Homo-oligomer: A and B are copies of this chain.
């Protein structure tokens, strides 16, 4: 049988993450290597719907491996949730001659891809690209490692000034539904306390912990708070509550915000993106479809979309215990 796939499309969708460019480069270069045409769609599903794309050659991804963001831009597409939107996209793929797609993004991206495949039977491979690490079927998502380093470097700086002034800092990090960033960066930054969506510490225990920390001789403290923490207060309310109840503490708040999404990717994220996307292209050429590629036990693996979307990728609560021991 002649190899059916002559053109592969690629796009990035959802919140951008460092390493997406390394991923795009790997798709384009693998296509060039296997003599397959590569089409890059802009702004995720939106570019597929609008027919907004560019032909990608081995040279058009030159020197992007080290850059944050995504040269294909990213977006969340409302139109793709509609039948009309998806039909438009399918028509465009047909017109351009795209035989299969590599989708770089998160959970929502893959869900869209699954429906699209069911409706139009276009082979799809998902590549997990998000700083949140909240995807089953892979130990690490592209961008997560870089985001952790960005957070830890920022908290190191905050620690300098916290120590100099004997202050208590609440630092809010990204992670609306999952505490991966907070938990791992909190351990990495040596935080005195970590608040995550998956575990409600409770206000009383937070106060107790801070008081114990002070008694043990610490004059400054860092509390890392996940955006989606379940304690029932946002980070400013938390700070106010602590200020009221621990009047001798000099409390400050920093919300790290969108800088967590940017920056030159770490070696880990670049290598991960490269390995995942070469495999994604090879799987498509081998006739595979509707799977997500991932890294499990240091090997590139594939997971059925259904399975990946059904299963939970839960945080390692052991790290809460580690954090507790290390903040002694």
- A-B contacts, 29 of them at CB < 8 A, read A29-B325, A58-B216, A59-B217, A62-B218, A63-B190, A66-B152, A66-B156, A67-B160, A68-B156, A73-B163, A73-B164, A148-B268, A149-B149, A152-B266, A157-B258, A157-B259, A158-B258, A160-B261, A162-B258, A185-B267, A187-B271, A188-B266, A188-B267, A188-B268, A188-B274, A253-B257, A254-B259, A255-B257, A275-B318
Question: Which residue from B59, B162, B326 sits with its C-beta under 8 Å from A29?
Answer: B326
Q: Is the interface of A mostly helix, strand, loop or mixed?
A: helix
Please name all residues of chain B whose beta carbon is closer than 8 Å to the beta carbon of A70 when the two chains form the complex. 164
The reply on A150 being an interface residue by CB < 8 A is yes
Chain A, interface size: which category? 35 or more
Tell whether A278 pairs with B161 under 8 Å between CB atoms, given A65-B190, A258-B252: no
Rounded to whole angstroms, the CA-CA distance of A161 and B143 in the bound complex is 12
Tell whether A184 pairs with B267 under 8 Å between CB atoms, given A254-B259, A259-B254, A322-B275: yes
Tell whether A262 pairs with B152 under 8 Å between CB atoms, given A33-B325, A271-B188: no
Chain B's nearest CB lies how many Å from the CB of A277? 9
Chain B's nearest CB lies how many Å from the CB of A248? 14
Tell whether A139 pairs with B74 under 8 Å between CB atoms, given A161-B69, A274-B187: no
Please name all residues of chain B whose beta carbon is closer than 8 Å to the beta carbon of A160 when the two chains form the complex. 16, 18, 67-69, 261-263
Chain B's nearest CB lies how many Å from the CB of A129? 11
CB-CB nearest 5 A-B residue pairs: A157-B262, A160-B262, A68-B160, A69-B160, A188-B267
Please name all residues of chain B whose beta carbon is closer than 8 Å to the beta carbon of A32 when the two chains form the complex. 328
B152/A258 in contact, CB under 8 A: no
CB contact list, A214-231 vs B, under 8 A: 216-218
Tell whether A152 pairs with B255 under 8 Å between CB atoms, given A26-B326, A159-B262: no
A184-B267, A268-B268 known; 16 new pairs, CB 8 Å cut-off, are: A12-B164, A20-B164, A29-B328, A66-B156, A67-B160, A74-B165, A148-B267, A187-B270, A188-B266, A188-B268, A188-B270, A252-B257, A252-B258, A254-B255, A271-B319, A298-B316
